[in-house]
Structure 1
């Protein structure tokens, strides 16, 4: 039977809503500070994993014309960009026919990466592909960077360049416990307890796995352990198929695990997960175009090639680790 509680090993990645909001706000503020100092927030990642900001841009008006400066993304706009690329991540994994475990691991890597960084600092397309590449490695389903890049017309060298910064941002904690395995554990447990027929249990598991797909796109994996995510998915699935008395099953779990949680606390968590799924919103095409324009401006990418050349030439080649760069305050 799967454990719905948080182990000590995983506790550092399970945040309270306040902590999660604080992480997003801090990453957004660091990017805004970089944007104000350098005129662009996008960091360059070299082949050895070192990072560099652009040199400060000095204009003749001493930055008097504030209206000409790039406008930073809000926290809500950053969330929309993460949502867009998390959906793209699932799409890429489906196109490559990767198993759910790889998709889940890559999604968790992507989410954890952006607890440390803003999309204004690192292009989410590059991070998305690198997270998939890293997930394939850790789950022993190796796909070359060349093959992955070719699949979506992306330079594979960018994936390789980003590999170390991704590992560093994950604090080299690469083992991910996905809810899919917990779903299987619970279904096996239900089979032993209720002696249900195999066909009904298979339908329960398949629908629950689809519900996990939805849950994984929300903030729930950052707020709840995989066992609770699996229970939320199973409850939704059971509402469709009516296989068991779910209240009785939750009671049996609590009694057999000698849990300190009450049934009301367990329901509170499951209800919160379901609420996140119900409130999940994908950005409209109009919103995406607007945010993408702002994001490119934050990256220092104008509409002409010259702006891109200037941005590339002005990079400040200071060799610092990713942790040092993200935690060190920007100097005036």
Structure 2
């Protein structure tokens, strides 16, 4: 995967019909979860603005004037809170001894969820627990719900299950994630076969340092902007610029105008900056203040027991009842008017047509 992406970057003018398309470009991650920094900011700002408007209206409907003194969270503050709960995932994975694939996948799920939702509707604590539990299943590392929740204080099965469909829906049911740590391992294996890279040039501690940078990148937006191979190569460059250069140049096409390492340098520089400047846990005191304010501006429709919550539940039950009644009425009409509520039977011509179509399918 990494080699394919690097080769394509080195030869942007190559006829696409003669170059095999990298597998990564056929993934849902490539199609649905890539953004520019500007797009990410716009998505989060729009979500935040819409959420504030809805919650303000809910406050006003319950008690006119009650929203005037509420200090709502902005998009950056929402991200600060999400980032704190991203840092909780490695801790939980260490406790359960989950493999790195589970950890990385759960973090990706949490980030993607908050590109469709706001913390003022859904607190990251329960979403994080649900995302991690879901990741154990989608990466084929399942754990029973009872074993999972019993090992996490103040957590019940409903805390996880109640949000599982919402999280899945917010992910567009796209559960596969391509990770930088796997790309880094591929690069490291490649380095072992390069003729100009001796054992002395690639000591094990270089890989250990590079994988730490990959893990630090999970605290940032890097995976939403750059490819896994770019993040992996940037992490290797932070650990050993020489090895990163040797590997990149080994993937350049013959006759390239300049070394591939030079072509990639601007992109890798941006990734390295994100990792080194933003790849760390947030300030706990700052997050604590955001969480305190969240209690005052949380959407009351999502707070069990509140007037808005009960009103919304009643409205949903009313709509569900109306839907059931309409369906029952349609069936009653079909029966009383001589129709068949299960659909009319096929006539002989229709049966013959369907049999012919089946015969055609068998011939194929």
TM category (shorter chain) comes to 0.7 to 0.9
Is 2:88 the partner of 1:91?
Answer: no
Structure 1 pair 123/205, CA: closer, same or farther in 2 (3 Å)?
same
Q: Which has the larger radius of gyration?
A: 2
Measure, in 2, the Cα distance between the counterparts of 1:283 and 1:296.
Answer: 20
TM-score, with structure 1 as normaliser: 0.79
Measure, in 1, the Cα distance between the counterparts of 2:126 and 2:257.
Answer: 42
Please identify, of 209-218 and 244-253, the stretch whose mean Cα deviation from structure 2 is larger. 244-253
For residues 41-120 of structure 1, what are the structure 2 equivalents within 5 Å? 57-59=61-63, 63-68=64-69, 70-120=70-120
Is 2:289 the partner of 1:285?
Answer: no
Deviations 1:258-280 (A, max 9, x none): 99996445222211111112221
TM-score, with structure 2 as normaliser: 0.72
Is 2:136 the partner of 1:131?
Answer: no
Structure 1 pair 248/308, CA: closer, same or farther in 2 (3 Å)?
closer
Question: Residue 310 of structure 1: which of 306, 314, 319 is its match?
Answer: 306
Deviations 1:81-125 (A, max 9, x none): 011010011211122111111111111111111111111111101
- Measure how far apart 1:66 and its partner are: 4.3
Displaced runs of 4+ in structure 1, greater than 6 A? 258-261
Gaps of 5+ in 2: 6-23, 320-364
Match of 1:19 in 2: 39
Match of 2:266 in 1: 268
Is 2:210 the partner of 1:205?
Answer: no
Match of 2:18 in 1: none
- Contact 1:73/1:291 (8 A) holds in 2: yes
Measure, in 2, the Cα distance between the counterparts of 1:88 and 1:259.
Answer: 46
- Contact 2:210/2:236 (8 A) holds in 1: yes
Measure, in 2, the Cα distance between the counterparts of 1:259 and 1:298.
Answer: 57
Query: SS at the partner of 2:192?
Result: helix
- Contact 1:80/1:282 (8 A) holds in 2: no
Structure 1 pair 115/308, CA: closer, same or farther in 2 (3 Å)?
closer
Match of 2:140 in 1: 140
Aligned length: 290
For residues 185-264 of structure 1, what are the structure 2 equivalents within 5 Å? 185-194=186-195, 196-197=198-199, 200-238=202-240, 244-255=242-253, 263-264=261-262
Please identify, of 164-173 and 5-14, the stretch whose mean Cα deviation from structure 2 is larger. 5-14
Please identify, of 27-36 and 280-289, the stretch whose mean Cα deviation from structure 2 is larger. 280-289
| Alignment root-mean-square deviation, CA | 2.8
Please identify, of 103-112 and 24-33, the stretch whose mean Cα deviation from structure 2 is larger. 24-33
Deviations 1:155-179 (A, max 9, x none): 1212111111111111111111111
Measure, in 1, the Cα distance between the counterparts of 2:257 and 2:57.
Answer: 51
- Measure how far apart 1:152 and its partner are: 1.8
Gaps of 5+ in 1: 40-55, 302-306, 321-332
- Measure how far apart 1:3 and its partner are: 3.9
